[in-house]
Amino acid sequence: MIDSQLSERSPALTDAQLQADELVVDLPGPRGPVRVVDGVSFDVPAGTTVGLIGESGSGKTMTALAVIGLLPEGAETGGELRWQGEDLLRVSDERRRRVRGHEISMIFQDPLAALNPSLTIGRQVGEILRRDGRSRADVRSTVIDLLDRVGVPEPAQRMNNYPHEFSGGLRQRAMIALALAGSPSLLLADEPTTALDVTVQARILRLLRSIQQEEGLAMLLVSHDLRVIAHVADQVVVMYAGRVAERGPAAEVLRRAAHPYTRALVASVPAVRTRTALADPLPGAPATPANRPSGCAFHPRCPRAQDRCRTEVPLTREVAPGRWSACHFAEEVLDV
């Protein structure tokens, strides 16, 4: 049992497809293992988008890599990661490979790095279909349908292009088509729009949202950008220094956060802030898992910190219906 995050399960989310329960990830470091994910619990119910947000070093990407089964070599895991009831941390490598692509697919931040430069877009999107033994004609028509669905113009011609012949936005659309090819139930998107300019970002987010809703997919969207989360997420999980700071319905959390870290995040983004157009930059530097402060890891940056915060790790508690916070004073924060 991880003593830092003795969180209870949320009773409301019984239809969750993915459930992280006290998930732990340790990475090897020069002075021993470093706990980069420390007792993280959240649910991704069917048909909803959950936004996983945090600054660099918060553990959000390692959490996503644990879900897709692509953690760096030497990583050790603990807790549970239940996918439709099955613990992904304890299945065979073969079962893991089957889940990846067919049941859970990932959309990466940089499609140019994720796509093979020497294979055509059509070849890559159709790879999983060919592996499933589908006929050549079936693969071709399905690839054209998929590219058409994600908004690639003239898909029958463009499927013969190589990744470098696509713009950044079109490459990300191709990446989404590739992720959809295996008919997954969960889409995992890691900073899917960070490498794109602002106008293209909005279009890709709209596309992801409409696909998620039309297909009734679950989506776990990882981002450092609160505006992206505000755009598409139903639920939000806020991470800090490898732990969950707060989770709950996105609209409520962003409007009236129950954790000072979330409040500081919201205040640092002008478009999300409601009372003034001015942004307040987050004070101080983010804590890193290798150098996690004692007690509440946010205490060196927290304007509300008291003596207790320096020594006692706050438990994740349900502080209002559906609202979970790991702050000793969450009720007071909510009242502000």
Question: Which residues sit at the interface with ligand SF4, rule CB under 6 A?
Answer: 259-260, 296, 298-299, 302, 304-305, 309, 314, 327-329
Based on CB atoms, which residue is closest to ligand SF4, 166 or 240? 240
Nearest to 262 by CA among 271, 275, 253: 253
Interacting residues of 327 by C-beta distance below 8 A, sequence separation 6+: 245, 246, 258, 259, 260, 296, 314, 333
Based on CB atoms, which residue is closest to ligand SF4, 165 or 332? 332
Chain-centroid distance, C-alpha 273: 22
Nearest to 52 by CA among 176, 236, 288: 236
> CA-CA distance, 244 to 9, in Å (whole number)?
13
Q: Shortest gap between Cβ of 305 and ligand SF4 (angstroms)?
A: 4
Nearest to 324 by CA among 52, 53, 41: 41
Q: Shortest gap between Cβ of 330 and ligand SF4 (angstroms)?
A: 7
217 burial (CB, 10 Å; 0-12 / 13-18 / 19+) is: buried
Structure tokens at 30: 């020069």
Q: Shortest gap between Cβ of 286 and ligand SF4 (angstroms)?
A: 14
Q: Shortest gap between Cβ of 283 and ligand SF4 (angstroms)?
A: 12
Based on CB atoms, which residue is closest to ligand SF4, 259 or 323? 259
Based on CB atoms, which residue is closest to ligand SF4, 292 or 299? 299
Based on CB atoms, which residue is closest to ligand SF4, 244 or 309? 309
Q: Shortest gap between Cβ of 301 and ligand SF4 (angstroms)?
A: 8
CB of 239 within 8 A of CB of 245?
A: yes
Strands of 49-53's sheet in order across:
104-107, 186-190, 218-223, 49-53, 235-240, 243-249, 323-325, 317-320
Q: Nearest 10 degrees: CA dihedral of 63, 69, 75, 79?
A: 60
Q: Shortest gap between Cβ of 333 and ligand SF4 (angstroms)?
A: 7
Based on CB atoms, which residue is closest to ligand SF4, 122 or 295? 295
Based on CB atoms, which residue is closest to ligand SF4, 122 or 314? 314
Q: Shortest gap between Cβ of 257 and ligand SF4 (angstroms)?
A: 11
